[in-house]
Amino acid sequence: MKSWIFCGMVGLAMLSGAQDTVKLPAPQKDGGMPLMQALANRKTGREFSSKELPQQTLSSLLWAACGINRADGRRTAPTGINCQDTDVYVVLPSGAYRYDHKAHALVLCTAGDHRELIAYRQAFPRQAGATLVFVQDHGKTFGGSDVNKARFGGIHTGAIMQNVYLFCASEGLVCVAREQLDRPKLAQVLKLSENQKTVLSTTVGYPQGK
Ligand SMILES: Cc1cc2nc3c(=O)[nH]c(=O)nc-3n(C[C@H](O)[C@H](O)[C@H](O)COP(=O)(O)O)c2cc1C
């Protein structure tokens, strides 16, 4: 028990120190709320406390969003012909990271607190624990024209977003999908290539008073 607590503290210290790669603990795949109850509780909220997400919660959240759930590398959210073109980035108080789903780890993009940039025209994301950003790589997308690729990106992102909403409903977390983003500045912080397009974000945190 003591060593478990120690490992958790070391993990959190690593995140606050913005290490280049942070290996996440294994996601908790048992427990949680029955699906029908989570669906009944799914909703958008915009009132967050400033409490950060523990590493275990972050791990389970990212896995639920778009982690690998089968031996062949397929993931919790489907993509057309399994092109896996959409990835999750996460903006934490310590920095902006890419979720490496194969290693189940966070890879640092840019250190520092970028929640002001994430908030853009809305105040509440400034104090929320985490914002997940869904980024589609057009170079990986199945589908010919740019219009078709963008259509696939919206569908793939929608599936990931709903996974996040249901996880939050199950865990008693607050979350809100957010389309209002400063995409050019965010692309710099996340170090995106020309092919990578930011589709949507979802801000996640604890309810006020918790
Ligand atoms: C694609 C999409 C974009 C959204 N963008 C924003 C946003 O930029 N800011 C915001 O406060 N809420 C945003 N929302 C949340 C919606 O306002 C919210 O889902 C809607 O009011 C329905 O409420 P519900 O999620 O509780 O059913 C967005 C939702 C979706 C699905």
Within a domain: residue 28?
yes
Can you give the CATH number for the domain in which 33 is found?
Answer: 3.40.109.10
Task: Report the C-alpha gap between 196 and 87 in whole angstroms.
Answer: 10
Instruction: Give the orientation angle of helix 55-66 with respect to helix 146-171, to 10 degrees.
Output: 140
pLDDT tens for the chain, 210 residues long, are 333 343 343 344 445 556 799 999 999 999 899 999 999 999 999 999 999 999 999 999 999 999 999 999 999 999 999 999 999 999 999 999 999 999 999 999 999 999 999 999 999 999 899 999 999 999 999 878 999 999 999 999 999 999 999 999 999 999 999 999 999 999 999 999 999 999 999 999 999 987
List pLDDT tens digits, range 55-80. Answer: 999 999 999 999 999 999 999 999 99
- Which residue range forms the structural domain that includes residue 52? 2-205
* CA 131 to ligand 1 center in whole angstroms: 14
Within a domain: residue 210?
no
* CA 178 to ligand 1 center in whole angstroms: 6
Total-model pTM? 0.92
179 Cβ closer than 6 Å to some ligand 1 atom = yes
* CA 83 to ligand 1 center in whole angstroms: 27
Within a domain: residue 19?
yes
Contact between residue 173 and residue 204 where contact means Cβ atoms under 8 Å apart: yes
* pLDDT value of residue 4: 39
| Count of domains forming the chain | 1
* pLDDT value of residue 91: 97
Within a domain: residue 12?
yes
User: Which one of 41, 176, 180, 203 would you pick to mutate in the ligand 1 pocket, going by the greatest count of ligand atoms within 8 A of its CB?
Assistant: 176
Q: Where are the alpha helices (DSSP H) in the chain?
A: 2-16, 35-41, 55-66, 115-119, 146-171, 183-190
Single out the residue of 154, 155, 174 nearest to residue 164, CA to CA. Answer: 174
74 Cβ closer than 6 Å to some ligand 1 atom = no
Within a domain: residue 145?
yes
* Residues across the chain: 210
Q: Which residues contact 148 (CB under 8 A, 6 or more apart)?
A: none
Which atom of ligand 1 is nearest to 161's Cα?
31
